[in-house]
Amino acid sequence: MSERQDAIKVMVVDDHPMWRDAVARDLSESGFEVVATAGDGEQAVRRAKAAAPDVLVLDLNLPAKPGVQVCKELVGHNPALRVLVLSASGEHADVLEAVKSGATGYLLKSASTEELLDAVRRTAVGDPVFTPGLAGLVLGEYRRLASEPAPAPDADEPGAPRLTERETEVLRLVAKGLSYKQIAERLVISHRTVQNHVQNTLGKLQLHNRVELVRYAIERGLDDE
């Protein structure tokens, strides 16, 4: 059963009023519920905590508090929040900083309205959405991060959480960079079942988001299997 699109609550954060209003209008006209907008970082954090959107459409270049800091604070406050960065910058450093701060996806402002609407829909269900060419960059960064020592649950420790065979299979495909939709097609299961496996795995491993999950998988070589 597909989720009703109008149940997706979205907040738009951008310091350009005309752009912000246009994006909010496009989302509203397409059936999304725009629960709040904000024009600077401080306002964004305050209003997002009050409005509790499902998806935050966020510009990085904000007065009062930069977008990456907004992202970090809000995802820390509510790990279930999905953040889609909508930026004029395609600089690799900006993309990677956004992902490391907790963003689910990154879209350039040159994207069409249709691409934006599709990106918000996919972000809402947990799919990573990136402007073409940026997904490979992000996966490469996951690999680099995984090569650095980091505290993570050790699967070999006594009493460590045990993943089911299917959870491990889903985790391996996540590490390879597949979207939830692609994983569902590969394993011939529903999109929602993939989401449930990922959520269960996050809970068992005490991880908070897809970035940490991919890092965990790559550290254990699951992406090479």
Please check whether residue 159 lies inside any domain of the structure: no
Spell out the per-residue pLDDT of the chain, length 225, in tens: 344 444 799 999 999 999 999 999 999 999 999 999 999 999 999 999 999 999 999 999 999 899 999 999 998 888 889 999 999 887 888 888 888 888 988 999 999 999 999 999 999 988 888 887 777 777 776 666 656 554 444 444 444 567 888 888 888 888 777 788 888 888 888 888 888 888 888 888 877 777 778 778 877 777 665
In this prediction, residue 173 carries a pLDDT of: 85
In this prediction, residue 170 carries a pLDDT of: 87
Domain residue limits at 173: 165-220
Does 130 share its domain with 169?
no
- Note whether 12 and 37 are within 8 A (CB): yes
Does 123 share its domain with 204?
no
Does 179 share its domain with 126?
no
Residue of 103, 110, 120, 122 lying closest to 27 (CA atoms): 120
Total structural domains within the chain:
2
Does 122 share its domain with 20?
yes
In this prediction, residue 149 carries a pLDDT of: 53
Q: How far apart are the first and last CA of the chain?
A: 33
- The model's pTM is 0.67
Please check whether residue 147 lies inside any domain of the structure: no
Does 39 share its domain with 103?
yes
Residue of 68, 21, 11, 63 lying closest to 42 (CA atoms): 63
Tokens representing residue 210 in the block:
């897809």
Q: Give Cα 29 distance to the centre of its chain.
A: 24
In this prediction, residue 224 carries a pLDDT of: 67
In this prediction, residue 13 carries a pLDDT of: 97
Does 124 share its domain with 208?
no
Does 100 share its domain with 171?
no
Q: What is the DSSP letter of 130?
A: B
Please check whether residue 33 lies inside any domain of the structure: yes
CATH number, domain of 118, equals 3.40.50.2300
- Note whether 195 and 125 are within 8 A (CB): yes
pLDDT digits (tens, 9 = 90+) for 121-156: 999 988 888 887 777 777 776 666 656 554 444 444
Residue of 60, 47, 65 lying closest to 91 (CA atoms): 60
CATH number, domain of 182, equals 1.10.10.10
Does 81 share its domain with 21?
yes
Does 71 share its domain with 115?
yes
Does 130 share its domain with 199?
no
Tokens representing residue 145 in the block:
């991060």
- Note whether 183 and 194 are within 8 A (CB): yes
In this prediction, residue 123 carries a pLDDT of: 92
In this prediction, residue 128 carries a pLDDT of: 83
